[in-house]
Structures are given as C-alpha cells and as structure tokens.
Amino acid sequence: MSEALPEDTSQMERLRTFMRLRGVDEFCPACKSEDISLEETAGLVPIVPYFNTYSGTMAPLLLAGLELYVLKCNNCGHVRFFDRQIVDEGTP
C-alpha cells in the first residue's frame, strides 16, 4: 500500500502550480473535498482497465514506463494520476 509523501512540499507545490496553470480543479472531482494528498508511487506500476471493442471484454492496460504523480482524496478515496514529465516540464 502506498503512503503519503513526507512534508516535501516542492512536489505538491509544483503539481498545484501546474494544475492552476492548466485550469484543473485542486479539490476532489468526486466529493469536492480539499483534503488531498500526494501519494508515493516508487516501485508501483499502475494498471488501468480498458474495454476491448474487438472481443467485447475488459482487459488490463499496463502503464509501465509512465512516472506519475498520484493524488488521493483523504475523504472519499478518489485517485487521479498526472504524468510527471508533463507536469515537471510545464511548471515554471
């Protein structure tokens, strides 16, 4: 299970700046809570399900190779991902 990052505000501030610049809401899109944490993802490979239109089945899509910022709502548990390369390159 992942844990919240220690008080290294530089990553969270970088992500918040990026989100503001891109017009992305900082609160949880599911419950509107402002209690959001940045999760540690070292060593984790996200798996995202997708619908295969040819076979009509659900299949896992491995996002191996993507380094992600993972934001978790501490109220409802909603999780969202942001590509680290895009965030880091797009933040002054």
pLDDT in tens, 26-76: 999 999 999 999 988 766 666 666 666 677 676 666 656 678 889 999 999
C-alpha–C-alpha distance, residues 80 and 3, integer Å: 15
Q: Residue ranges of the domains in the chain?
A: 9-89
- pTM for the structure as a whole: 0.67
For residue 73, what are the contacts with CB-CB under 8 A and spacing of at least 6? 28, 30, 31, 33, 35, 36, 79
> Token pair for residue 62?
């491995």
> Token pair for residue 77?
């548990």
Burial class of 79 by CB neighbour count within 10 A (0 to 12, 13 to 18, 19+): middle
